[in-house]
């Protein structure tokens, strides 16, 4: 089946710095990827839809200038948390649908990136 | 809120008993999916049920879908300690977006 990877798996940074998280589809092309955020003991909240070759679309309440998304190729989307603050500490997860491997429109989720901002 | 509702929020049962979790949603769907997540870990995909399906089985898991009531249920039979986890339903809409429910924290007691 399809595999989605994320890098890094864990990052600790100082307040005010920017952090980049990568999401890669390893064996399929993804024109669309999705980014989620999960706070402790809560569910996943969809942040934005990453579109290859065009601007990302953000969910209501998500600051596009703070969470920069770049979908530079058919296998890579990056999420940059700019000027991170402690309240941005969270588990960030990406997903991508693969029409080739899945006949059921199944989406494949990355393993997540745990961000801790000191 | 973009999220659906799940109940119960938390469930504790004895090992060997069956666990039932319910999920409701508000908009039309392409499919509904159930995931498991162990504490601090990634998601594990359990079952996907399409909007034109009513029931699906996978091992000890049984999922039902009632599109007229906009609800789904996940049944885990003969529960085991390893089933202790959070369970989320997630609806996929026409726009391919997957929206997660709030989840049920399941605890299997020895």
Q: Sorting pLDDT into bands at 50, 70 and 90, what band is A4?
A: very high
| Interface membership of B97 toward A (CB under 8 Å) | yes
Question: And the tokens for A47?
Answer: 């942040």
Distance CA(A26)–CA(B82), nearest Å, equals: 29
Positions in chain B whose pLDDT score sits under 70: 1-4
- How far does B88 lie from chain A, in Å, by closest CA? 8
Which A residues, 69 through 98, put their C-beta within 8 Å of a C-beta on chain B? 91, 93, 95, 97
- How far does B37 lie from chain A, in Å, by closest CA? 10
Residues A92/A96/A97/A101 CA torsion (nearest 10 deg): -120
pLDDT tens figures, A35-84: 999 999 899 999 999 999 889 999 999 999 999 999 989 999 999 999 99
Would you state the pLDDT for residue B1? 46
The answer to whether the beta carbons of residues A35 and A94 sit under 8 Å apart is yes
The answer to whether the CB atoms of B97 and A49 lie below 8 A apart is yes
């Amino acid at each position: 089946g399809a595999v989605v990877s994320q890098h890094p798996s864990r990052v600790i940074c100082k307040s005010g710095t920017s952090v980049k998280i990568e999401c890669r589809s390893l064996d399929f092309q993804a024109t669309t990827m999705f980014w989620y955020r999960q706070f402790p003991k809560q569910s996943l909240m969809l942040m934005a839809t990453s579109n290859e070759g065009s601007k990302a679309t953000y969910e209501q309440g998500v600051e596009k200038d703070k969470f920069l998304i770049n979908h530079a190729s058919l296998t890579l989307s990056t999420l940059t948390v700019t000027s991170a603050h402690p309240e941005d500490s969270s588990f960030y997860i990406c997903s991508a649908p693969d029409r080739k491997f899945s006949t059921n429109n199944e989406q494949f989720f990355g393993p997540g990136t745990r961000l801790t901002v000191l | 809120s973009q999220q659906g509702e799940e109940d119960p929020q938390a469930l504790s049962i004895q090992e060997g008993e069956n666990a039932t979790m319910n999920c409701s949603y508000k908009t039309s769907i392409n499919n509904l999916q159930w995931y498991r997540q162990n504490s601090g870990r990634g998601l594990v995909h359990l079952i996907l049920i399409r909007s034109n399906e009513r029931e699906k089985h996978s091992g000890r898991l049984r999922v039902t879908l009632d599109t007229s009531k906009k609800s789904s249920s996940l049944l885990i039979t003969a529960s085991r300690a390893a089933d202790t986890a959070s369970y989320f339903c997630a609806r996929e809409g026409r726009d391919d977006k997957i929206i997660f429910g709030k989840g049920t924290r399941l605890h299997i007691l020895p």
